[in-house]
Amino acid sequence: MTAHTSHPGADRDMIVARATPPGAGGLAVIRLSGQGCRRAALTLFRSLRPGFTDLLPYRLHHGHLHAPDGRRIDEVLAAFMPGPGAYTGEDTVEFSCHGGPATAAAVVAACIAAGARPAGPGEFTLRAFLNGRMDLSQAQAVAELIAAATPVQADMALARLDGAMGRLARELRQGLEALRAGVCLAVDFPEEDVECLSREEFAARAADISDRIRQLLEANRRARPFREGASVVLFGRVNAGKSRLFNALLGRERAIVTGVPGTTRDYLEETLDLSGMPVRLTDTAGLRETGDEAEALGRDRGEKRVQAAELALFVVDGAHPLADGDDDARELALARTLGPARVMAVVNKADLPPGDPDPATVLADMGFETIRVSARTGAGLDALTAAMEHRLGAGDAPAVDDVIPNQREAAALSQALDELAGLSRDIDRGVPYDLLGVRLETACAALSDITGEMTPDAVLTSIFETFCIGK
């Protein structure tokens, strides 16, 4: 692995940070890593076990933590993990203390007084990468696992944390390097009777690697909604029951619901776990003409959200006819503009007699998929949820052990695939072998970027700066 010695932490000085989330909790973990951390910890820790002399590796030691001036801070558990087996690949000490913000801050301050400096974002994981404990794909998977909001997101991150993506990238690169060796042989010994790949076999092996890269890119495309989430927006006229339906889908009272039309004056957005797919569910202000400037602004904002949504739920009051005024004309125009592919009609208030003509029939005749529900009683919600899952592809979740490239890795794979496509054209045109080697070299460099072996320091810095402090 290429060393990136210009990064903060490359000199392996001692760093400290709280590894658990900020705020009050049952406990907090303070992580201390780098040269001299064991010695520094011993100046702060007083064991409650008679005969204690040192922090033994991989054991929990019970005692009190004291500031350098002797003031007792807290009762703690201390653990020492020696490098290279620790998370960072270097000596690490962790103190588990009570989780009050003041106590955790005092422990961090004591470690700083003992010679540590505050860790930067992701610096512990950066050190793990620099020390060869993990490749760049695994390092990013750490942050993705921490941020995972659904089980599917956690499974995708865990598969990459195990190193599967890095192993695949190295395997693909080795295949290309074998082709490069054949190119070098043809260039260096053009007149010798040495065995070289024919252009046909050369093209076939390059095409096989291209196919494998395409499979990874397709996996990234299918998994993108599960990683990034999908947008579902409720729209319709005032008093159609959008906010009540919004609450019913969330399973809690998030939006204010009253009998007064136009209660919602701006959009509300919450996250819904739809069979492992994180969905940004948005409730918008009713589409009606109004002289109220604030309501009009909220309506226009909501309309923009509808136009940008992957799926728009056109919520209709099923107890009244659909086309009876300008407001209905406005919402119907929006639904028609988006089209049945992006709009699902939700005919609400199924607990009441239907209007005449029945809005569900009218909308179905227009080609819209139509679901009857009662946000008040919950009738039809299961059918609506199932229809949303089908529309968004939530039933096509990646398998637990599928290897899914993230967006940075997909960009590197796309670059490699572009070079291989150019290679194929060059082979067909009879381009000399030495020029083919340039294409292979560029493709190999792109694949190396997945594991971080040739990634520029500036790119590494931008990646790790997105991590939380303490990881």
Least confident of 185-194, 324-333, 405-414, 448-457: 185-194
Q: What confidence tier does 286 reach under pLDDT thresholds 50, 70, 90?
A: low
For residue 334, pLDDT over 60 is answered with yes
Confirm if 440 and 180 have CB atoms less than 8 A apart: yes
Q: What confidence tier does 168 reach under pLDDT thresholds 50, 70, 90?
A: very high
The whole-number pLDDT of residue 65 equals: 96
Per-residue pLDDT of 49-92, as tens digits, reads 988 989 999 999 999 999 988 999 999 999 999 999 999 999 99
Section 228-249 average pLDDT: 89
Output the six-digit token pair for 86. 């620790």
- CA–CA dist 362, 371 (Å, integer): 13
The whole-number pLDDT of residue 134 equals: 92
The whole-number pLDDT of residue 254 equals: 63
For residue 291, pLDDT over 60 is answered with no
Least confident of 241-250, 304-313, 319-328, 388-397: 319-328
For residue 342, pLDDT over 60 is answered with yes
> For the chain, what percent of residues have pLDDT higher than 90?
54
More confident residue, 195 or 363: 363
For residue 129, pLDDT over 70 is answered with yes
What's the first-to-final CA gap in the chain, in angstroms? 22
125, HSE (Cβ side, Cα atoms, 13 Å)? 26
**Most confident by average pLDDT, 14-18, 127-131, 182-186:** 14-18
- CA–CA dist 434, 203 (Å, integer): 15
Q: How do strand 311-317 and strand 343-348 relate by DSSP bridges?
A: parallel
Q: How far is CA 462 from CA 85, 122, 123, 360, 448, in A?
A: 27, 11, 12, 51, 18
More confident residue, 371 or 1: 371
Q: Which of 167, 40, 155, 44 is nearest to 92 (CA)?
A: 40
Report the 10 Å Cβ neighbour count for 1.
14
Q: What confidence tier does 197 reach under pLDDT thresholds 50, 70, 90?
A: low
Instruction: Name the DSSP class of 398.
Output: P
For residue 349, pLDDT over 80 is answered with yes
The whole-number pLDDT of residue 433 equals: 72
Output the six-digit token pair for 295. 């309501």
More confident residue, 88 or 263: 88
More confident residue, 258 or 470: 470
For residue 261, pLDDT over 80 is answered with no
Q: Which of 94, 143, 90 is nearest to 469 (CA)?
A: 143
Q: What confidence tier does 346 reach under pLDDT thresholds 50, 70, 90?
A: very high
The whole model's pTM is what? 0.77
| CB proximity list for 231: less than 8 A, separation 6 or greater | 279, 280, 282, 305, 308, 309, 310, 311
Section 384-410 average pLDDT: 88
Instruction: Name the DSSP class of 252.
Output: S
Q: What confidence tier does 184 reach under pLDDT thresholds 50, 70, 90?
A: low
Classify each residue of 342-371 as buried b or exposed e, where b means 16 or more C-beta atoms within 10 Å of its C-beta: ebbbbbbbbeeebbeebbbebbeeeebebb
Per-residue pLDDT of 415-426, as tens digits, reads 999 999 999 998
Place of tokens 């209007």: 355
Least confident of 89-93, 262-266, 314-318, 414-418: 262-266
Q: How far is CA 35 from CA 15, 19, 59, 83, 275, in A?
A: 9, 19, 20, 10, 46
Whether the ω angle into residue 353 lies within 30 degrees of 0, i.e. cis, is no
The whole-number pLDDT of residue 5 equals: 41
The whole-number pLDDT of residue 125 equals: 93
For residue 378, pLDDT over 70 is answered with yes
More confident residue, 60 or 401: 60
For residue 320, pLDDT over 60 is answered with yes
For residue 237, pLDDT over 50 is answered with yes
| Rounded (to 5) percent helix, strand, coil in the chain | 45, 15, 40
For residue 221, pLDDT over 70 is answered with yes
Q: How far is CA 122 from CA 143, 312, 322, in A?
A: 8, 38, 55
Mean pLDDT estimate for the chain: 85
Q: What confidence tier does 28 reach under pLDDT thresholds 50, 70, 90?
A: very high
Section 318-327 average pLDDT: 70
